[in-house]
Amino acid sequence: MNPFSESVHLDTDRIRMHILQRFFTAGQAPVSGGELAGELAMSRTAVWKHIKALEDIGFGFEAAPRRGYRLTQIPNLVMEPLLRQYLNPERALGRTVFWYPSVSSTNAVANQLAKSKEVPHGTVITAVEQDGGRGRQGKTWNSPAGGLWMSVVLKRAFPLVRAAELTLMASVAIARAVEDVAGVELDIKWPNDLLYGGKKVCGILAELRAGGENVEYAVLGIGLNTNVTSAQIPEELQPIATSLLIVTDKETVQAQLAAAILNEFETLYDSLLTHGKGFALVADEWQKRCVTLGNHVKIRTPQGVIEGVAHRVDGGGVLYLMNESGDETAIHSGDVLF
């Protein structure tokens, strides 16, 4: 859906999706321009123009004389037909995708779209780059081309008191997916930053709309430094941020990683909805990956900076700091300052 720009007419998107789908189905075989023209009720020249537009965003085609075109190159993007190849077909997350070359913030777009009844549960918004990427606590988020910037619209109601579990479950889902797809083991910093060698690789921003005691819809924003080069990380972030590309020296297939995250997360989210078991299901794994527990930490909270030993996390993701006298303080939200 709407894969080319925020303003292009939806018909154009559907046409290009149809063309791509035909090439994916054909594999190495050529697809006839005449057949495409017939299916789309347009001239061969019009089909050729759409193929040119696809080339502009990184797809490669070669003309097979008298037989049509062959798909020769697929860009490393998170567009719907690319994502679909890796998604669990019975699942809802990622079935509808809005892809943008550039957008202010996928979370901002997702919040807008979530209000519409026509936008289904599980819709994913993704962009090549963001020029107004949002981080937690009002911070900005560096989002150059090469990273995985995506937001998921979650529309199944669940109790507001369980909301903190969303990002905690997401952090485990992302860590598992990154391990499977990129072979990198990430640490978790409470509540849900993912780190490699002490440097941040991924951040999560959940935004909610509540109606009474329930979450009406949630937007789960994931920012993952996948194929971000060192030169794309601003100087002030160099000491605290890294990327999968820097760590592995290999490009990650973005659609494969995005699908793995969605598949992993959906299982946990569904369990929260159906059995009321969300974070509790992965709390042990979360604790094993967590680099905050057991350390003396300072945490910036809305109530000021609190210090102590990060002692334990409960089933709802609340962190307990212990002071020298052995008293515990519950921390519901904050930023760990090492």
Q: Any contact of residue 226 with ligand BTN (CB under 6 A)?
A: no
Q: How far is the CB of 49 from ligand BTN (least distance, A)?
A: 32
Q: Any contact of residue 308 with ligand BTN (CB under 6 A)?
A: no
Of 19, 13, 264, 12, the residue nearest 3 (C-alpha): 13
**By the 8 A CB rule, do 128 and 100 touch?**
yes
Q: How far is the CB of 249 from ligand BTN (least distance, A)?
A: 24
**Segment 49-56 long-range contacts (CB within 8 Å, at least 24 positions apart):** 50/12, 50/15, 50/16, 50/19, 51/19, 53/4, 53/16, 54/16, 54/19, 54/20
What is the size of the binding site for ligand BTN (CB under 6 A)?
A: 21
Q: Candidates 28-36, 82-90, 127-135, 268-276 — which segment interacts with ligand BTN by CB under 6 A?
A: 127-135
Q: Which helix (H) or strand (E) holds 100?
A: strand 97-103
Nearer to ligand BTN, 140 or 248 (CB): 140
Nearer to ligand BTN, 62 or 131 (CB): 131
**Residue 296 to residues 196, 307, 309, 310, 337: CA-CA distances in angstroms?**
20, 7, 4, 6, 10
Q: Any contact of residue 133 with ligand BTN (CB under 6 A)?
A: yes
Q: Any contact of residue 101 with ligand BTN (CB under 6 A)?
A: no
Question: Judging by beta carbons within 10 Å of its beta carbon (0-12, 13-18, 19+), is residue 194 exposed, middle or buried?
Answer: buried
Q: Any contact of residue 136 with ligand BTN (CB under 6 A)?
A: yes
Give me the residues paired with residue 60 across strands.
73
Spatial strand order of the sheet with 296-301 comes to 328-331, 319-322, 304-313, 296-301, 335-337
- Binder to ligand BTN among 2, 32, 96, 107 (CB under 6 A)? 107
**By the 8 A CB rule, do 99 and 83 touch?**
no
> How far is it, in rounded angstroms, from Cα 225 to Cα 195?
11
Question: For the window 54-93, what string marks contact with ligand BTN as x by the rule CB under 6 A?
Answer: ----------------------------------------
Q: Candidates 14-22, 149-157, 209-217, 309-317 — which segment interacts with ligand BTN by CB under 6 A?
A: 149-157
Q: Any contact of residue 134 with ligand BTN (CB under 6 A)?
A: yes
Q: Any contact of residue 167 with ligand BTN (CB under 6 A)?
A: no
Q: Any contact of residue 141 with ligand BTN (CB under 6 A)?
A: yes
Question: For the window 192-211, what string marks contact with ligand BTN as x by the rule CB under 6 A?
Answer: -x---------xxx------
**Binding footprint of ligand BTN on the chain (CB under 6 A):** 105-107, 130, 133-136, 139, 141, 143, 149-151, 193, 203-205, 221-223
